[in-house]
Amino acid sequence: MTTECRIAAIGKHVGEVVTVHGWVYNTRSSGKLHFVILRDGTGLLQCIISKNDVSDEVFLAASELTQESSVRVSGVVREDKRAPGGYEMHVHDLHVVQLAEDYPIKLKEHGVEFLMDNRHLWLRTPRQASIMRIRHTVVKACRDFLDDRGFLLVDAPILTPAACEGTTTLFETDYFGEKAYLSQSGQLYNEANAMAFGKVYCFGPTFRAEKSKTRRHLVEFWMVEPEIAFCNLEECMQLQEEMITYIVCSVLERNARDLETLERDTEALRRVVPPFPRISYDEAVELLRSKGMDFTWGEDFGAPDETVISQAFDKPVFVHHYPAQCKAFYMQPDPDRPELVLSADLLASEGYGEIIGGGQRIHDRVVLEQRMNEHALPEDPYRWYVDLRRYGSVPHSGFGLGIERTVAWICGTQHVREVIPYPRLLNRIYP
Amino acid sequence: MTTECRIAAIGKHVGEVVTVHGWVYNTRSSGKLHFVILRDGTGLLQCIISKNDVSDEVFLAASELTQESSVRVSGVVREDKRAPGGYEMHVHDLHVVQLAEDYPIKLKEHGVEFLMDNRHLWLRTPRQASIMRIRHTVVKACRDFLDDRGFLLVDAPILTPAACEGTTTLFETDYFGEKAYLSQSGQLYNEANAMAFGKVYCFGPTFRAEKSKTRRHLVEFWMVEPEIAFCNLEECMQLQEEMITYIVCSVLERNARDLETLERDTEALRRVVPPFPRISYDEAVELLRSKGMDFTWGEDFGAPDETVISQAFDKPVFVHHYPAQCKAFYMQPDPDRPELVLSADLLASEGYGEIIGGGQRIHDRVVLEQRMNEHALPEDPYRWYVDLRRYGSVPHSGFGLGIERTVAWICGTQHVREVIPYPRLLNRIYP
């Protein structure tokens, strides 16, 4: 029995005999030598099979290996600066678990629709694997950051009786005879939980049945949503910039090789440190107009607007104090200018646009009920939400960070469809 | 400005002046002294307001505090063994943020339906808060355990075109003109991901539109599902017992006070160490019959059967090698007895029943296609799943751990409805 080892840890076994389980990424031969590059999900390893070192059967099997065949190889680990990953294996034994059929994804360019149809296989390629590893780090960093600061994870329900932000983009289902909807945000439940636990977050999938086909929109996406009792807008923004910095640092630290694979400009990421610039909505409108864009005060920013604003700064930028009309009903009005609300969005740098939406929530029952009336919201499903303003209401704030937009920005990928394992889009629910 | 402090950390500030934000849990008065017990989501703190130490306004305000009023208090922290939590505050100043209306949940017994209607407030009570904190630890322990062992989080989609386990218990929705279903398991996607990354897990909400009304069933529940390439049934069971032990140890370590609040017998939890007993399905049937139960070989165990089996052991017990007919189509047949499959369920101790279902998956394409035919599964939506057996198929295993059942067992609660923040049940989707 030799030591089993994953490729990412192979450097700890130089000079030893180890066994690796993996799949064939690429092969080449030169007479008495076969070079097989293996992948195991943690990295790539060059294996050298020499006619002198192995049995005739093994040497023959090695010559017949096809792309993505599954194998078990044993051999001595050597350092080699030229090899992918910096190490190689001189193979003693090779066992073919399955000889793969002709693999559809070749080591060449394919069209996006073809790759998306084969997403279950596309994930095996180095670029996609690097994105998934960075996604893992981003999710873990969000949780670690919040857990370390005393936030309690309190899961919000997915099946809900009421809509949180508009009803036109909701997925509906039959719930034992009643209508139910898929959650677009855990926001409202978070507020109840913040009154119970002080600092909370939920982290789950959210759904928007939007007919948009842009590089920033997914039908199903993941969101982390912290909510804090006794917290105002400025404190909320401070938490956000700390959290974003922590996430970016975690990726720079743990995914250096993945960022290299993606050819990501890491200098731009290293600039992400607090404080982030803060501009008001009014200032953002002025900025757009100064860049020659035609923008009507009171409207929400579209993707092209966000790109222009975010390109004016070399760090993520907060845009705060939006007009009430572009934000959800629960946003706290600005006491000085009641046509504005105490909200802030965070736009990622390099033109990536909004990754966080957040702000301070209404804590006064009368103000809330007035807003709910203006939005023609039904009373019954929101009864519990109004209750929160009866029994120990306090100023509170929170935000929602979109995982896919954040990962796309950190990876420098153009389209969010690459940063979620199985993207759900307007015309795509397969695989 | 005094130091702000949460109640859980108050012991670090003995002799200092600190400020606490919280809600009134209970009050009593004796002439010149008001005793106010505050909660802030991390614990309870007794605050003493003496007529001699505060202004007349503050003393009057303290006398008028109602249950769940929100307040900010400042004062000196003293140690006091008799106080809840072991510390108390001698208050200098108190600011009432909001005087709560008459709070519906009194410090007495209420009916379950009433409490469930007020779940957004019920969560504030000590017992429910302890359960939520233990839930947090369980979720974190699952993730830490897997992350530390090189597993990659790869999220499975929630909206899927095909059913994984039967179609009668699926929630359906309209997906831009197509039918889509809410996921019952990330299992199939996990298998694709295991072939890409070796060791993976998904962790998300799952949905069963089951009309069952038992203390073990929720319509919406959370599941963590690890999947491992190059892994057989026995290795999979070993991973499970290590993971369960890690989870239980984490709760014993981090939630001692919560377990006390729940009056949980921690001796039973301390016995949860590997190896767990393993019995075959055949042996389990014999055991049931020896206890006088009437059981037909080939059927799946019901909740009463599981209770009897689990009560025969003082640790969680694996039941392995089930008849193929009670398990999903993708389970690997036993080479020695093809009427059985290489599956194993883990039943929690103390009569709690199944918390894990898992096993080895079919890796041979021909065997898989035969099983899919027997189950009359449509070809198209499963095309990608069959692909996994064409391109480097390997023996692989995995399992699904139900978060709510695990938390219910560790907390010693009778009904899973108490261990998820907002339970979805046959007749309940509010709040």
pLDDT tens digit sequence for B159-181: 998 755 566 899 999 999 999 99
Phi, psi angles (nearest 5°) of residue A316: -60, 150
B424 close to A (CB below 8 A) = yes
Dmax (CA) for chain B in angstroms is 85
Determine, for residues B132 and A152 on separate chains, whether the beta-carbon distance falls below 8 Å: yes
Neighbour-count burial of A86, counting CB atoms closer than 10 A to its CB (0-12 exposed, 13-18 middle, 19+ buried): middle
Q: Which B positions 394-413 lie with beta carbon below 8 A of chain A?
A: 394-395
- Residues of chain B contacting residue A150, judged by C-beta atoms under 8 Å apart: 6, 8, 42
Q: How many domains does chain B have?
A: 2
A379 close to B (CB below 8 A) = no
Residue of chain A whose Cα is closest to the Cα of B153? A136
Q: Model-level pTM?
A: 0.97
User: Which of B69, B98, B127 finishes a domain?
Assistant: B98
- Residues of chain A contacting residue B6, judged by C-beta atoms under 8 Å apart: 150, 198
Neighbour-count burial of A179, counting CB atoms closer than 10 A to its CB (0-12 exposed, 13-18 middle, 19+ buried): exposed
Interface pTM (ipTM) of the complex?
Answer: 0.97
CA distance B267 to chain A (A): 27
Nearest Cα residue to B405 out of B312, B322, B303, B318:
B303
Evaluate whether A80 touches A88 at the Cβ level (below 8 Å).
Answer: yes
Tell me: pLDDT of A162 over 80. Answer: no
Note the pLDDT of residue B287.
Answer: 98
A182 close to B (CB below 8 A) = yes
- Residues of chain B contacting residue A176, judged by C-beta atoms under 8 Å apart: 209, 211, 426-427
Determine, for residues B197 and A229 on separate chains, whether the beta-carbon distance falls below 8 Å: no
What residues make up the domain containing A78? 3-98
* CATH code for the domain in which residue A177 is found: 3.30.930.10
Q: Domain for residue A106, yes or no?
A: no
Determine, for residues A21 and B198 on separate chains, whether the beta-carbon distance falls below 8 Å: yes
User: Which of B45, B65, B98 finishes a domain?
Assistant: B98
Distance, in Å, from the CA atom of A355 to the CA atom of B409, rounded to the nearest integer, reads: 39
**pLDDT top residue among B82 and B422:** B422
Distance, in Å, from the CA atom of B205 to the CA atom of A220, rounded to the nearest integer, reads: 13
A164-180: average pLDDT: 84
Note the pLDDT of residue A157.
Answer: 98
Evaluate whether A84 touches A257 at the Cβ level (below 8 Å).
Answer: no
Helix (H) or strand (E) holding B200: strand B199-207
Q: Are residues B88 and B141 in the same domain?
A: no
- Residues of chain B contacting residue A72, judged by C-beta atoms under 8 Å apart: 230
Average pLDDT, chain A: 95
Determine, for residues A392 and B159 on separate chains, whether the beta-carbon distance falls below 8 Å: no
Q: Domain for residue A428, yes or no?
A: no
A23 close to B (CB below 8 A) = yes
**A189 Cβ contact list (under 8 Å, min separation 6):** A154, A156, A157, A202, B120, B421, B422, B431
pLDDT tens digits for range A384-431: 999 999 999 999 999 999 999 999 999 999 899 999 999 999 989 999
Among candidates A6, A204, A424 on the partner chain, residue whose Cβ is nearest the Cβ of B159: A424
pLDDT tens digits for range B224-249: 999 999 999 999 999 999 999 999 99
Nearest Cα residue to B256 out of B247, B246, B245, B264:
B264
Q: Domain for residue A112, yes or no?
A: no
Q: Domain for residue B428, yes or no?
A: no
- Residues of chain A contacting residue B100, judged by C-beta atoms under 8 Å apart: 390-392
Note the pLDDT of residue B1.
Answer: 62
Phi, psi angles (nearest 5°) of residue A301: -75, 140
What three-state secondary structure class fits A131? helix
User: Which of A40, A66, A98 finishes a domain?
Assistant: A98
Note the pLDDT of residue A404.
Answer: 98
B64-91: average pLDDT: 96
Q: Are residues A313 and A177 in the same domain?
A: yes
Determine, for residues A421 and B159 on separate chains, whether the beta-carbon distance falls below 8 Å: no
Q: Are residues B144 and B220 in the same domain?
A: yes
Note the pLDDT of residue A166.
Answer: 60
Asked if the bond preceding A431 is cis, omega within 30° of 0, the reply is yes
**B260 Cβ contact list (under 8 Å, min separation 6):** none
- Residues of chain B contacting residue A23, judged by C-beta atoms under 8 Å apart: 195, 392
Q: Are residues B76 and B179 in the same domain?
A: no
Evaluate whether A17 touches A76 at the Cβ level (below 8 Å).
Answer: yes
pLDDT tens digits for range A120-137: 999 999 999 999 999 999
Q: Are residues B161 and B23 in the same domain?
A: no
pLDDT tens digits for range B378-394: 888 899 999 999 999 99
Q: Are residues B29 and B126 in the same domain?
A: no
A312 close to B (CB below 8 A) = no
B141's tokens: 């322990």
Determine, for residues A229 and B204 on separate chains, whether the beta-carbon distance falls below 8 Å: no
Among candidates A98, A135, A429 on the partner chain, residue whose Cβ is nearest the Cβ of B392: A98
Determine, for residues B153 and A135 on separate chains, whether the beta-carbon distance falls below 8 Å: yes
Determine, for residues A100 and B159 on separate chains, whether the beta-carbon distance falls below 8 Å: no
Q: Domain for residue A429, yes or no?
A: no
Half-sphere exposure of A116 (CA within 13 A, CB side): 16
How many residues would you count in chain A?
431
B409-416: average pLDDT: 95
A176 close to B (CB below 8 A) = yes
A322's tokens: 């939006």
**B271 Cβ contact list (under 8 Å, min separation 6):** B314, B315, B349
Note the pLDDT of residue A165.
Answer: 54
Amino acid at site B192: A
* CATH code for the domain in which residue A92 is found: 2.40.50.140
Evaluate whether B142 touches B401 at the Cβ level (below 8 Å).
Answer: yes
Nearest Cα residue to A425 out of A212, A184, A173:
A212
Q: Are residues A300 and A160 in the same domain?
A: yes
B19-41: average pLDDT: 96
Q: Are residues A230 and A277 in the same domain?
A: yes
Determine, for residues A421 and B152 on separate chains, whether the beta-carbon distance falls below 8 Å: no
B203's tokens: 């962790």
Distance, in Å, from the CA atom of B303 to the CA atom of B333, rounded to the nearest integer, reads: 25
Note the pLDDT of residue A84.
Answer: 85
Q: Which A positions 60-79 lie with beta carbon below 8 A of chain B?
A: 68-70, 72
pLDDT band of residue A1 (cuts 50, 70, 90) is low
Tell me: pLDDT of A164 over 70. Answer: no
CA distance B250 to chain A (A): 14
Asked if the bond preceding B126 is cis, omega within 30° of 0, the reply is no
Distance, in Å, from the CA atom of A145 to the CA atom of A240, rounded to the nearest integer, reads: 11
- Residues of chain B contacting residue A100, judged by C-beta atoms under 8 Å apart: 390-392
Q: Domain for residue B291, yes or no?
A: yes
Determine, for residues B123 and A157 on separate chains, whether the beta-carbon distance falls below 8 Å: no
Determine, for residues B394 and A70 on separate chains, whether the beta-carbon distance falls below 8 Å: yes
Determine, for residues B171 and A174 on separate chains, whether the beta-carbon distance falls below 8 Å: yes
Note the pLDDT of residue B214.
Answer: 86
Evaluate whether B341 touches B326 at the Cβ level (below 8 Å).
Answer: no
Q: Are residues A357 and A228 in the same domain?
A: yes
Determine, for residues A197 and B150 on separate chains, whether the beta-carbon distance falls below 8 Å: no
Q: Are residues B7 and B133 in the same domain?
A: no
pLDDT tens digits for range A47-94: 999 999 999 999 999 999 999 999 999 999 999 999 888 999 999 999
How many residue pairs from chains A and B have C-beta atoms closer than 8 A?
A: 257
Helix (H) or strand (E) holding A260: helix A256-261
Secondary structure (H, E, C), B67-104: CCCEEEEEEEEEECCCCHHHEEEEEEEEEEEECCCCCC
Q: Are residues A91 and A125 in the same domain?
A: no
Determine, for residues A124 and B207 on separate chains, whether the beta-carbon distance falls below 8 Å: no
Q: Are residues B255 and B152 in the same domain?
A: yes
**What are the C-alpha distances in Å from A390 to residues A17, A363, A394, B180?**
69, 9, 10, 40
Q: What are the residues facing A159 on neighbouring strands?
A: A182
pLDDT tens digits for range A220-275: 999 999 999 999 999 999 999 999 999 999 999 999 999 999 999 999 999 999 99
pLDDT band of residue B109 (cuts 50, 70, 90) is confident
**What are the C-alpha distances in Å from B281 to residues A283, A317, B278, B315, B339?**
70, 60, 10, 17, 12
B124 close to A (CB below 8 A) = yes
A311-325: average pLDDT: 97
A83's tokens: 């090899």
Q: Domain for residue B230, yes or no?
A: yes
Among candidates A180, A197, A222 on the partner chain, residue whose Cβ is nearest the Cβ of B429: A180
Distance, in Å, from the CA atom of B8 to the CA atom of B43, rounded to the nearest integer, reads: 6
Q: Domain for residue A258, yes or no?
A: yes
Among candidates A139, A150, A391 on the partner chain, residue whose Cβ is nearest the Cβ of B68: A391
A130 close to B (CB below 8 A) = no
Among candidates A150, A207, A209 on the partner chain, residue whose Cβ is nearest the Cβ of B6: A150
Tell me: pLDDT of B271 over 90. Answer: yes
